[in-house]
Amino acid sequence: MTRNHTFFFFRYFSLGALLLLLFQAEGLAQPGCPPDFVGEPGMEPRQLSPEKRKALMARIEELKVWKLTERLNLTEAQSVKFFPKYKAYQEKSAEHFEQMHEQMQALRVMQEGKASESEIDAKIDEFLKTQAAMPELLHHHIKEFREVLSARQVAELIIFERDFMRDLKGILRKANRRGGRFNSNDDD
């Protein structure tokens, strides 16, 4: 896989992970309930409780595993070998995104506060190191996926990641237009 393909996959996966961190939509965890971020325009989103966030992430993960198994046409033997590798990649990616999110918040505070130029530069370097590690992480895990999946399945995985995040973003957008109400048809 070329670096351009790796970057393409990383870019779309990054968008999806950031959406999950930033939107924090409670409505996916409990269909029919308004998410915390819905309200008057300009309102700040409220943070989900750890329990609700965990439930949301679990539901999204279940949906993703189901759709991914179907889309890649995984055999039972492939599923048993692939999903632990995929979960490890997802967890490492989530850690990196959480670090980048925290570093970005720290940069914002430093920029608005009285931090020196050298302190801000150090935080920028820290952020860039974390960001630079992401393509290498992806490259490493793609190699691991190739131990289990065919080249066509890996290609389909890359396309699936982009499609899944696009679809999830669409579901969130539709729900937001309906005032936070989710329909069971939204995830079709």
Tell me the average pLDDT of the chain: 76
DSSP 28: G
Please give the full DSSP string across 128-170, using - where no structure is assigned.
HHHHHHHHHHHHHHHHHHHTTS-HHHHHHHHHHHHHHHHHHHH
pLDDT category of residue 182 using cuts at 50, 70 and 90: low
67-93: pLDDT as tens digits? 999 999 999 999 999 999 999 998 998
The span from the CA of 116 to the CA of 17, in Å, is: 31
Residue at 162: amino acid letter: R
pLDDT category of residue 29 using cuts at 50, 70 and 90: very low
Q: Where are the alpha helices (DSSP H) in the chain?
A: 3-23, 50-72, 76-112, 117-146, 151-177
Among 88-92, 121-125, 175-179, the least confident range: 175-179
CA neighbours within 13 Å on the CB side: how many for 43? 9
Among 10-14, 47-51, 110-114, the least confident range: 10-14
Q: Is the pLDDT of residue 144 over 70?
A: yes
Q: Is the pLDDT of residue 176 over 60?
A: yes
Structural contact between residues 35 and 7, judged by C-beta atoms closer than 8 angstroms? no
- Burial pattern 44-76, b for ≥16 Cβ within 10 A else e, equals eeeebeeebbebbbeebeeebeeebbeebebee
Q: Is the pLDDT of residue 42 over 70?
A: no
Beta-carbon contacts of residue 168 (< 8 Å; ≥ 6 apart)? 16, 19, 20, 60
Structural contact between residues 134 and 93, judged by C-beta atoms closer than 8 angstroms? yes
The span from the CA of 16 to the CA of 22, in Å, is: 10
Stated length of the chain: 188
